[in-house]
């Protein structure tokens, strides 16, 4: 049996071995050429596309804080309620709709409790403050009321403006960002493709389909660059987005 198996084994001649080796090398070259072509089809360019849109806020929010001090807490409560009524009527007189909801928070400080154990005398024991917040789509009404807030002071209402810079100013909110996102992304894509076409032209190529896209972050900025306050205090704003897009080159 062993001798028969040996008889079936074919030994290649030197010429046949050379032919086989050449064939293997040729096949490897074809495979390598295919990889090169495949990698060549992955040529792409990465560009950024900018889109900007001017908008006007559609909601105004304004918080008015007023305060009274004294030693009779019950009397102070009556005064706070009376002043609260004056503020509400003041807003209505400036065009805030009657069905507008006013959000109110009241704070009471007992200065005797705060200074317990200290020698400094306290003339007015209680500080009662109330913050009234109005939110409405009547921006002109809020803006006009803010400019005329001195009318309340003339009526004896003590208005407090405190906290960080700009505290007490109306806040302007734009709530329709999702409505304009599609058109802004489209505009950013067009802008990015224009940049990609310039790159392609310089390199003797053409722009193909989108390989990958990153929408980017939408920013809300004051429309005028010289405005020295935060975006939330600006009635007129600019929406900005920068998208990063990869285009195939062909």
Residues of the chain above pLDDT 90, percent = 65
Q: Which pair of structure tokens corresponds to residue 140?
A: 């002109």
Its pTM stands at 0.74
Q: How far apart are CA 200 and CA 182, in angstroms?
A: 27
- CATH superfamily label, 43-56+175-249: Protein of unknown function (DUF541), domain 1 (3.30.110.170)
Domain residue ranges of the chain, discontinuous segments joined by +: 43-56+175-249, 61-169
Mean pLDDT of 33-56: 73
**What are the backbone angles phi and psi of residue 152, rounded to the nearest 5°?**
-70, -40
The pLDDT, as a whole number, for residue 34 is: 30
To which H or E segment does residue 70 belong? strand 59-70
The pLDDT, as a whole number, for residue 27 is: 42
| DSSP string over 104-132 | EEEEEEEHHHHTTT--S--S--EEEEEEE
Mean pLDDT of 59-80: 96
Average pLDDT, the chain: 83
Shared fold status for 43-56+175-249 and 61-169: no
Judge whether residue 159 has pLDDT over 50. yes
pLDDT tens profile 161-188: 865 444 589 999 999 999 999 999 999 9
Higher pLDDT, 82 or 227: 82
The pLDDT, as a whole number, for residue 121 is: 63
Judge whether residue 37 has pLDDT over 50. no
Query: In which band, very low, low, confident or very high, does the pLDDT at 40 lie, cut at 50, 70 and 90?
Result: low
Q: How far apart are CA 139 and CA 151, in angstroms?
A: 19
pLDDT tens profile 101-158: 899 999 999 988 876 655 556 788 999 999 999 999 999 999 999 999 999 999 999 9
Q: How far apart are CA 113 and CA 115, in angstroms?
A: 6
Residues of the chain above pLDDT 70, percent = 76
CATH of the domain spanning 61-169, picked from 3.40.50, 3.40.1800, 1.10.3470, 3.30.70: 3.30.70
Q: How far apart are CA 43 and CA 216, in angstroms?
A: 23
The neighbour count for residue 188, using CB atoms within 10 Å, is 24
């Amino acid at each position: 049996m062993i001798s028969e198996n040996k008889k079936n084994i074919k030994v290649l001649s030197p010429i046949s071995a050379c032919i086989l080796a050449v064939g293997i090398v040729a096949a490897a070259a074809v495979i390598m050429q295919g990889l090169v072509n495949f990698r060549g089809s992955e040529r792409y360019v990465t560009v950024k596309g900018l889109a900007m849109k001017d908008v006007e806020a559609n909601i105004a929010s304004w918080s008015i804080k007023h305060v009274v001090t004294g030693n009779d807490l019950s009397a102070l409560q009556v005064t706070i309620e009376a002043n609260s009524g004056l503020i509400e009527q003041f807003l209505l007189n400036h065009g805030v709709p009657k069905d507008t909801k006013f959000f109110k928070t009241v704070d009471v400080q007992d200065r005797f409790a705060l200074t317990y154990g200290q020698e400094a005398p306290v003339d007015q024991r209680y500080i009662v403050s109330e913050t009234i917040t109005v939110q409405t789509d009547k921006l002109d009404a809020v803006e006009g009321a803010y400019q005329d807030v001195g009318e309340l002071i003339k009526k004896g209402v003590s208005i407090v403006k405190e906290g960080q810079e700009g505290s007490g100013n109306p806040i302007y909110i734009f709530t329709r960002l999702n409505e304009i996102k599609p058109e802004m992304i489209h505009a950013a894509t067009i802008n990015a493709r224009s940049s990609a076409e310039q790159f392609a032209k310089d390199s003797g190529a053409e722009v193909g389909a989108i390989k990958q896209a990153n929408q980017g972050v939408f920013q809300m900025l004051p429309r005028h660059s010289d405005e020295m306050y935060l975006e939330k205090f600006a009635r007129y704003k600019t929406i900005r987005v920068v998208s990063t897009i990869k285009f195939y080159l062909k």
